[in-house]
Amino acid sequence: MAEERQDACYKQAAKNNWSKNPCGSRNIKTRNFDNLTFEDFAQLDKARYTYEYWMQEEFDNLDLKDKRVLEIGYGMGSDHLQLAMRGGTCYGIDLTPENLPICQKHLELNGFSSKLCIGDATELPYEDNFFDVIYTFGVIHHIPKMEKVINEIYRVLKPGGIVWCGVYNKNSWFYRCILLPDFVFSGDFKRMNLKQRLSLIEYPHKNKNILVTLTTKRELRKLFYKYKVLDIKNRSISRDYFKVNGKHILNEEEVAFLGSKFGWYNIVIAQK
* pLDDT of 157 strictly over 90: yes
- Distance, in Å, from the CA atom of 30 to the CA atom of 44, rounded to the nearest integer, reads 11
In which band, very low, low, confident or very high, does the pLDDT at 36 lie, cut at 50, 70 and 90? very high
Q: What's the pLDDT band for 247 if we cut at 50, 70, 90?
A: confident
Those residues whose C-beta lies under 8 Å from the C-beta of residue 251, and which sit 6 or more positions away, are none
Given CA atoms 63, 139, 268, 253 in this order, what sign does their dihedral have? positive
pLDDT of residue 241: 86
User: What tens digit of pLDDT does each residue of 199-239 get?
Assistant: 999 999 999 999 999 999 999 999 999 999 999 999 998 88
Average pLDDT of the chain, as a whole number = 93
What span, in angstroms and rounded, lies between the C-alpha atoms of 39 and 239? 27
Q: In what order do the strands lie in the sheet with 265-271?
A: 115-118, 89-94, 68-72, 131-137, 157-168, 265-271, 228-235
Domain at 124, CATH number? 3.40.50.150
Residue 116: which domain range? 2-271
Beta strands in the chain (DSSP E): 68-72, 89-94, 115-118, 131-137, 157-168, 228-235, 243-244, 247-248, 265-271
Question: The pTM is what?
Answer: 0.95
Q: Across residues 40-54, what is the average pLDDT?
A: 93
Single-letter amino acid code for the residue at 21? N
**How many Å apart are CA 79 and CA 91, to the nearest integer?**
12
HSE value, Cβ hemisphere, 13 Å, CA-based, for 207: 21
Distance of CA 200 to the CA centre of its chain: 16
The DSSP element (H or E) to which 56 belongs, if any, is helix 55-61
Please report, rounded to a whole number, the percentage of residues in the chain having pLDDT higher than 70: 100
Cα–Cα nearest to 152, from 137, 166, 132, 134 = 134
List C-alpha distances in Å: 131 to 89, 187, 203: 10, 47, 32
pLDDT tier at 43 (50, 70, 90 boundaries)?
very high
Distance of CA 103 to CAs 38, 66, 71, 212, Å?
12, 21, 12, 24
Helices 99-109 + 38-51 axis angle, to 10: 100
- Which pLDDT value is given to residue 30? 84
> How large is the average pLDDT for residues 69-91?
96
pLDDT digits (tens, 9 = 90+) for 94-115: 999 999 999 999 999 999 999 9
Q: What is the pLDDT of residue 8?
A: 82
Domain count of the fold of the chain: 1
